[in-house]
Amino acid sequence: MEFIETIKPFTLIAYYIFVSFVVLLIILDNKKPEKAFAFIFLILLFPIAGIVIYLLFGAQYQKKKLFTKKRYFDNVYLNKINEEQKDYAETLVDSSFAKLPTLFYNIEQVNFTLNNQITLLNNGEGKFPVFIRELERAKESIHLDYYIIRESEIARQVIDILCQKAKEGVKVRVIYDDVGSSLSRSTLARMRESGVASYPYMPVVFSRLAHKANYRNHRKIAVMDNEVGFVGGININDKYINPNKSGLYWRDTHILIKGEAVIDLQYLFISDWYFVSGQKIGLDEVRYRNLSMIKGTVPTSILGSDYGRNNQTIKEAFFRMITSAQEEVLVTTPYFVPDDSILNALKITAKSGVKVTLLLPEKPDSRTAYYASQTYFKDLLKSGVEINYYTRGMMHSKTMIIDEAISTVGSTNMDQRSFNLNAEVNAFMLSKKIAKDLKSNFVYDLKDSYPLTLEMLRRRKWYVKVICSIARLLAPIL
């Protein structure tokens, strides 16, 4: 006992030195002040757990080295094939959005291509029949880049096709996020034996414990033969198909692209493939061959963001879209934890007389984000923003429609994790028809929702308000 009493002061001193060292690391890492304060608050409130969470999800020393290599590849190799392969047509843009193509080029060196055919796909039951059909048609290459590929009936069906196509000589490459996905060793072995090349994105040791690990690949990209592409919010898992075993209706949005914009999806895949495998995909695999078959002229641009390049690109595009609105802004997102720039853009746009409507899930799968989002609602409602809770099931769509003129569909949530940490991708379309079709979906979904009011916020239990306030402090690291 005397020995224990003797070492107690030294243990306490060592502990305080260690905590001080970790806090100093957070400060020197030059994070955004709100993010640094969030981690420091977490460490001071929950000393041991806070330090573990920071070391797992906040420390960036290894990530910076990895992404520096990726950034060099993107800037040198990827930009080179971009310049050699692409011939952009002049795009006619509505006057209110005339500066949007300039913004996209300046932030990510991408353009709006004109020769594109876009098909909206609602929910898994709308996506997967078309997705399976295009997989079966592939003759040269299949590239999949997904956050979630999870053992399920639809995953088995997809993997069966991938294995068969690889045996037929089709080049099949698959990237799956090591946290979001769950593939058994036997499945991976079968894919490998069939000739399917697959790699995990940012492998982790304990994926189940790292549910909110940073720097995840949240993209949902599929490209077949450089001619057909898919992008949106639907992963490869049975729960996205209604009805499902969980009994939870899953509302989501995806799009099928045929045309020049598919090559932009291919560029993002090439970048991710080099990052996970160290292998370069040659120029001969990045040529669109059948533009004459395209029946549409939808000006479309593909923006990607990740920690390796510019993790603010999609957020900047969102900001410009919102602030350019003259009549209405319609947003669906499963998680609403915006930073100050997006929050202010929504409030100021609403105060300017533009109709701003948010559609969020009443019961999302992330409780912390759900509680944190409520702390933004009072200011938004007072500014004139309409907030609606979707009640039919899980609203997982990530869409925005502006003035029935421009719209976006992709993987990006309107939260700080998507804006600052994860690899994301969105398609932006300057098409009144696509915007109107998405708006029709939005209006239909509003029938299964109810508007949130200031009075409802006031009537919440006191402990719910406390939980929301604590969650808000953690918002920068959610």
Sequential pLDDT tens for the chain (478 residues): 443 445 456 666 776 676 676 666 666 565 565 566 666 766 766 666 666 666 655 555 445 555 566 665 666 565 655 554 444 444 445 556 767 878 887 777 788 888 899 999 999 999 999 999 999 999 999 999 999 999 999 999 999 999 999 999 999 999 999 999 999 999 999 999 999 999 999 887 654 545 446 788 999 999 999 999 999 999 999 999 999 988 899 999 999 999 989 999 998 999 899 989 989 887 677 766 666 677 778 999 999 988 766 668 999 999 999 999 999 999 999 999 999 999 999 999 999 999 999 999 998 887 888 899 999 999 999 999 999 999 999 999 999 999 999 999 999 999 988 998 899 999 999 999 999 999 999 999 999 999 999 999 999 999 999 889 888 876 655 5
Residues 199 and 277 in one domain: yes
The answer to whether residue 103 is domain-embedded is no
Chain centroid, CA 99 distance in Å: 24
Residues 278 and 402 in one domain: no
Q: Does residue 437 contact residue 120 with C-beta atoms inside 8 Å?
A: yes
Residues 282 and 416 in one domain: no
Residues 67 and 47 in one domain: no
pTM for this entry = 0.86
Would you list the DSSP string of 226-249?
Answer: TTEEEEES--BSGGGSSS-TT--E
Q: Does residue 47 contact residue 39 with C-beta atoms inside 8 Å?
A: no
Whether 254 is a known active-site residue: answer: no
Number of domains the chain is built from: 3
The answer to whether residue 273 is domain-embedded is yes
Given 127, 258, 315, 396, the catalytic residue: 396
Residues 141 and 206 in one domain: yes
Given 35, 70, 220, 254, the catalytic residue: 220
Q: Report pLDDT for 3.
A: 38
The answer to whether residue 348 is domain-embedded is yes
- Of the residues 296, 328, 352, the one at which a domain ends: 296
Given 145, 177, 178, 225, the catalytic residue: 225
Residues 6 or more apart whose Cβ sits within 8 Å of residue 478 = 212, 335, 337, 366, 368, 369, 372, 415, 416, 417, 471
Given 145, 306, 398, 415, the catalytic residue: 398
Residues 6 or more apart whose Cβ sits within 8 Å of residue 3 = none
Range of the domain at 39: 2-60
Backbone angles phi, psi at 326, to 5 degrees: -110, -25
Whether 218 is a known active-site residue: answer: yes
Residues 10 and 47 in one domain: yes
Whether 31 is a known active-site residue: answer: no
Residues 362 and 464 in one domain: yes
As separate numbers, helices (DSSP H) first and strands (DSSP E) second, the chain gives: 17, 19
Residues 56 and 70 in one domain: no
Q: Indicate which CATH number applies to the domain containing 393.
A: 3.30.870.10
Whether 225 is a known active-site residue: answer: yes
Tokens 């949005």 belong to which residue? 253
- Of the residues 296, 326, 350, the one at which a domain ends: 296
Residues 35 and 82 in one domain: no
The answer to whether residue 379 is domain-embedded is yes
Residues 324 and 426 in one domain: yes
Q: Report pLDDT for 26.
A: 62
Q: Report pLDDT for 345.
A: 98
Listed residue (115, 168, 118, 175) closest to 138, CA to CA? 168
The answer to whether residue 306 is domain-embedded is no
Q: Report pLDDT for 72.
A: 58
Residues 191 and 269 in one domain: yes
Task: Give me the torsion for CA of 474, 475, 477, 478, rounded to 10°.
Answer: 100
Whether 445 is a known active-site residue: answer: no
Whether 363 is a known active-site residue: answer: no
Given 145, 306, 403, 415, the catalytic residue: 403
Residues 236 and 331 in one domain: no
Given 218, 258, 315, 347, the catalytic residue: 218
Helix (H, G, I), strand (E, B) or coil at 152: coil
**In whole angstroms, what is the distance from residue 196 CA to residue 271 CA?**
19
